Amino acid sequence: MLPRLLKLPKNRSLFLFGARNTGKSTLLQQVFTHEKSIWINLLEPSTEELMAINPDELRAIVLGASPKITHVIVDEIQKVPQLLNIVHHLIETTSIHFVMSGSSARKLKQKGVNLLAGRAFVYHLFPFSFIELGKQFNLNHSLRWGLLPKIHQLDTDEERMKFLQAYTHTYLREEIWAEQFIRKLDPFRRFLEVSAQSNGKIINYANIARDVGVDDKTIKEYFSILEDTLIGFMLEPFEHSFRKRLSLKPKFYYFDLGVVRSLTRTLSLPLIPSTSSYGEVFEHFIILECIKLAAYFAPEYRFSYLKTKDDAEVDLVIERPGLPILFVEIKSNKQVQEKDLRTLITLSKDFKKAETMCLSNDAYTKKYGAITVMPWQKGLKYIFNL
């Protein structure tokens, strides 16, 4: 099993959130020994039913545990949110540490749960990073199939395709409906495909609503569901004024490249370098790596995109406490030239104190005026001080 970048403390109660199949259970099994832990898996229907009917069953299990037990691990805590009241009391009255994993915070929010008021730290796990894969990492493979851990356990493209199709059908569609996050399944199915086609683009709620056949309010609720179930995230527009930032339209990114390609039914199509589609997927990959590495190493970093007055765009704006704002352009080119950096060149004149960088497939680090061009691996490690 590959070691993960996320390090979990053993002396604290904690929540571990992440989309399905990101490896939460595997990580917990690596960190916490079965000899000193009680494991409660709420994905098992009998266990979920038992705990839902009588949440006090958890209290009885913990109070009856052997003195050598140090941790109680509860998988998919959102299945039975009322357990958190019991957990809260047991944290206060026993020396047991509770580790609660979940693929959605939505039900916890709906129940008014406050995540134990700071008594448990909150961590997030994502699909693999290129750093975790090390020598096993292959860029073209990752761009085509994504970085969910299961993908790297499969031997053929046919198996990978079937896994991703099952993921998007069974989990994203059926299970979100089964959890009663949506009332009607068919519009949500259409929304998933349309939103995936709009991945990485500025959201036009009215256009998506027209294509799906629902109103704008429903589309905004669907996006909120994807965020709460950790299937994607919004990238807000950059503005110095927070109030102005809220008035502008964000972009939406799915959490995994393979999932997007499955939803857009393009898994069977090869990705060809130097094409616009390849460039879009490469840009998505770099942004996902930034989100992962920030969650693990730089949680105070803040990300946005910039749209200039003449409609040029900067892919990523990174606000770093104590450091200059960093403007990042992402190019899939193998040879970046000065003419490719016009937007950054203009921007460097307007924001003289900012840092400007281009991450690319270029093999060399280059300098064009105030702009640094870096191979993407080197650039990411520089940004996150790795």
pLDDT tens column, 204-255 = 999 999 999 999 999 999 999 899 888 999 999 987 654 454 447 899 999 9
Q: What distance lies between CA 344 and its chain's CA centroid?
A: 27
Q: How many whole angstroms separate alpha carbon 61 and alpha carbon 68?
A: 14
Helix 376-383 and helix 276-297: axis angle, to 10°? Answer: 30
Among 76, 97, 124, residue at a domain's last position: 124
- Same-domain status, 137 and 267: yes
pLDDT for residue 246: 47
Mean pLDDT, range 301-330, rounded to an integer = 91
- Same-domain status, 98 and 155: no
- Same-domain status, 242 and 266: yes
Q: How many whole angstroms separate alpha carbon 161 and alpha carbon 352?
A: 47
pLDDT for residue 17: 93
Residue 259: which CATH number?
1.10.10.10
Domain presence at residue 178: yes
- Same-domain status, 144 and 162: yes
| Residue percentage of the chain with pLDDT more than 70 | 92
Instruction: Indicate the average pLDDT of the chain.
Output: 89
Domain presence at residue 288: no
Determine the length of the chain: 386
Among 107, 124, 141, residue at a domain's last position: 124
Domain presence at residue 1: no
- The residue segments making up the domain with residue 341 are 298-383
Going by the DSSP 8-state scheme, the letter that residue 171 receives in this structure is I
User: How many CB atoms are located within 10 Å of the residue 267 CB?
Assistant: 20
Evaluate if residue 34 carries a pLDDT over 90.
no
- Identify which of 7-16, 50-59, 285-294 has the greatest average pLDDT: 285-294
Helix (H, G, I), strand (E, B) or coil at 104: coil
Of 332, 328, 308, 319, the residue nearest 372 (C-alpha): 328
Phi and psi for 326 in degrees, rounded to 5?
A: -115, 120
Of 124, 125, 128, the residue nearest 139 (C-alpha): 128
Q: How many whole angstroms separate alpha carbon 39 and alpha carbon 41?
A: 6
- Same-domain status, 145 and 250: yes
pLDDT for residue 245: 46
Domain presence at residue 2: no
Provide the pairing of β-strand 371-375 with 355-360.
Answer: parallel
- Same-domain status, 120 and 18: yes
Domain presence at residue 293: no
- Same-domain status, 317 and 240: no
- Report residue 178's pLDDT band, with 50, 70 and 90 as the boundaries: low
Domain presence at residue 253: yes
One-letter amino acid for residue 300 of the chain: E
Total count of domains within the chain: 3
- Same-domain status, 137 and 235: yes
Domain presence at residue 83: yes
Domain presence at residue 3: no
From residue 8, give the alpha-carbon distance in Å to each of 16, 35, 87, 294, 368: 9, 18, 19, 16, 41
Among 124, 142, 166, residue at a domain's last position: 124
Residues 89-112 as b or e (16 or more Cβ within 10 Å = b):
ebbeeeebbbbbbbbbbbbbeeee
Evaluate if residue 378 carries a pLDDT over 50.
yes
Listed in sequence order, the DSSP H helices in the chain are 24-31, 45-53, 56-63, 83-93, 106-110, 130-133, 139-145, 157-166, 176-178, 185-197, 205-212, 216-228, 242-247, 257-263, 276-297, 342-350, 376-383
Helix 216-228 and helix 185-197: axis angle, to 10°? Answer: 80
- Same-domain status, 170 and 80: no
Q: What is the pTM of this model?
A: 0.92
**3-state secondary structure labels for all residues of 292-337:** HHHHHHCCCCEEEEEECCCCCEEEEEEECCCCCCEEEEECCCCCCC
Higher pLDDT, 176 or 226: 226
Q: What is the pLDDT of residues 84-93, one digit of tens each?
A: 889 988 998 9
Residue 98: which CATH number?
3.40.50.300
Q: Which residues are bridge partners to 98 per DSSP?
A: 72
Evaluate if residue 18 carries a pLDDT over 70.
yes
- Report residue 179's pLDDT band, with 50, 70 and 90 as the boundaries: low
Residue 305: which CATH number?
3.40.1350
Q: What is the pLDDT of residues 155-175, one digit of tens each?
A: 999 999 999 999 998 776 666
Provide the pairing of β-strand 14-17 with 121-124.
Answer: parallel
- Check if the beta carbon of residue 288 is closer than 8 Å to that of residue 260: no
Q: How many whole angstroms separate alpha carbon 229 and alpha carbon 76?
A: 12
Mean pLDDT, range 338-363, rounded to an integer = 89
Higher pLDDT, 378 or 80: 378
- Same-domain status, 140 and 264: yes
- Same-domain status, 111 and 44: yes
Evaluate if residue 308 carries a pLDDT over 80.
no
Q: How many whole angstroms separate alpha carbon 325 and alpha carbon 265?
A: 37
- Report residue 181's pLDDT band, with 50, 70 and 90 as the boundaries: low
- Same-domain status, 120 and 148: no
